[in-house]
Amino acid sequence: MRSSEFKSALIVTLLSMILLRLVWMDLRSYVITYAPQNRYALDRSEASGHCRRSFSLRQIGPEKPTQGSWERPGWADSRVYQKLVLASCRNGVLHEASFVRYNQGLLIACLVACVLLTRVMARSWIVGLIVAVALLSRGRLIAANGQISGDALIAVGLALWAMCLGHWLRSGSWWVYLASYVVVAVLMTLDPGTALLGFAPPLALAIWRPILRRKMERRVVPAEPVSRDVKLWKRWGELLNLSLGPAPDAPLSGGLFRPLPDGIRPLVGQPRFQNALKTFTIMGAALLGIMLIVQFMVGKYGPLPLQPVTGSAIRMWLRGFLSPLDRDSGLGILMMILALTWRSRWLPYLRPLVNLVGAGIIFSALGSAFMDLIYLPQPAERLWLGTRLLILWEPVLMTLGMLAFYQMILSLLGRLDRIPSLTRFLKALK
């Protein structure tokens, strides 16, 4: 059987698995749970006069919420979530099935963003389909469709942010880089702690630049070409479409659909690149500043008193932050750490993307910790974002973890081809 037939059969199998999982996701029943902030969101929708709540939704929370318990500025009072609440009316009544449908659609949108990120980094749709199957096999992501909250909106935003940065590392398109700030501006309306994501790319690149410059000053030893005479590597390479090098007709200037031959890595030390980075970073910071001013004008951020931080509160917050960490997400983080230390010429853009996403997780954790521990009053502890932050990052973590595993497999196959005894053995089998 030829390699093209193998690839066609593999693609059809993966697409069939994705379709079956989507059908199962649509047919299964969900345990409906409500985030505490829904009381505030539904009160505002009912006060608008456009919707009235069904009997089940009317049972959420106390009739008069306690002072400080619903004052967190976040997804409950964002216009995006309010539009979803109003659009979920059927004959003037809010229904739970509408929210489940929204969460299913948002999960698929997050899935598409992760698949596009995989395609951009690995240049293989087959690997992207494998990532899609893995994410649709994650029971916690499917079960979250019954959670009536704005978490799915934030998860989609984080996946889009990572996809924009991965595309920018490959293409050098500055408008895609600016689009990452637009995504952060929208995320700010859902939770203010995500505003610090805008600081992750410039600071990570500022740290990355001197390290890369020292590497470029060293003597570059060209990598040995992978032997195409070896049957093992040739068959797997053709099957999985692993031609990851630049195309022969790769353009000299990148764009939205025209990646640079070597990504932005050779351009980092050039003055023109640095000037463009400063310009678009300032544009992104101005965009976030305008969004912050608008949020203040509409009264989203109230004059809440700053709270003193104690050691016990920090320890409790850290325990809540690490509580969602399980086997799959922990394995993804472990593979990301290995990608930072694994020297490989395959997927050369994975390491800087892992650095950017790692910086994004740290900055988002700092932002949520500030909102949870300092800015908000003490009664709002149960509305902490830090306890859900790793769950929101989980699709991105699993995607990068699988890309890191894919990079290790490519490196190992390439090293097997350079073992003389194995090479002679495989040639003897021809």
Percent of the chain with pLDDT over 90: 14
The average pLDDT across 33-37 equals 76
pLDDT for 202: 82
Q: Is pLDDT at 346 greater than 70 in this prediction?
A: yes
Q: Is pLDDT at 230 greater than 50 in this prediction?
A: no
pTM: 0.81
pLDDT tens readout for residues 251-267 = 444 666 677 766 777 77
pLDDT tens readout for residues 161-179 = 999 999 888 888 888 889 9
Q: How many CB atoms lie under 10 A from the CB of residue 266?
A: 13
Q: Is pLDDT at 183 greater than 90 in this prediction?
A: yes
The average pLDDT across 98-110 equals 90
The pLDDT confidence band at residue 47, using thresholds 50, 70 and 90, is low
Q: Is pLDDT at 407 greater than 70 in this prediction?
A: yes
| Separation CA 233–CA 410 (nearest Å) | 9
Q: Which of 405, 410, 276, 265 is nearest to 349 (CA)?
A: 265
Q: Is pLDDT at 69 greater than 60 in this prediction?
A: no
| Separation CA 397–CA 336 (nearest Å) | 8
The average pLDDT across 214-238 equals 45
Q: How many CB atoms lie under 10 A from the CB of residue 419?
A: 12
Is beta strand 89-90 parallel, antiparallel or unpaired with respect to 93-94?
Answer: antiparallel
pLDDT for 420: 60
Phi, psi (deg, nearest 5) at residue 32: -80, 125
Q: Are 406 and 127 in contact (CB under 8 A)?
A: yes
Percent of the chain with pLDDT over 70: 69
Q: Which of 211, 248, 245, 250 is nearest to 351 (CA)?
A: 211
Q: Which of 163, 208, 204 is nearest to 182 (CA)?
A: 163
pLDDT for 255: 65
pLDDT tens readout for residues 329-338 = 888 889 888 8
The pLDDT confidence band at residue 384, using thresholds 50, 70 and 90, is confident
Domain that holds residue 273: 3-246+253-428
Between 421 and 69, the more confident residue is: 421
| Separation CA 153–CA 146 (nearest Å) | 14
pLDDT for 116: 92
pLDDT for 73: 64
Phi-psi region of 245 (alpha: psi -120 to 50; beta: other; left: phi over 0): beta
The average pLDDT across 63-73 equals 48
Q: Which two tokens stand for residue 244?
A: 């990851």
pLDDT for 224: 41
Q: Are 354 and 207 in contact (CB under 8 A)?
A: no
| Separation CA 319–CA 313 (nearest Å) | 10
Count: domains in the chain = 1
H or E stretch including 147? strand 147-148
| Separation CA 57–CA 42 (nearest Å) | 9
Asked which of 61-65, 80-84, 150-154, 288-292 is least confident by mean pLDDT, the reply is 61-65
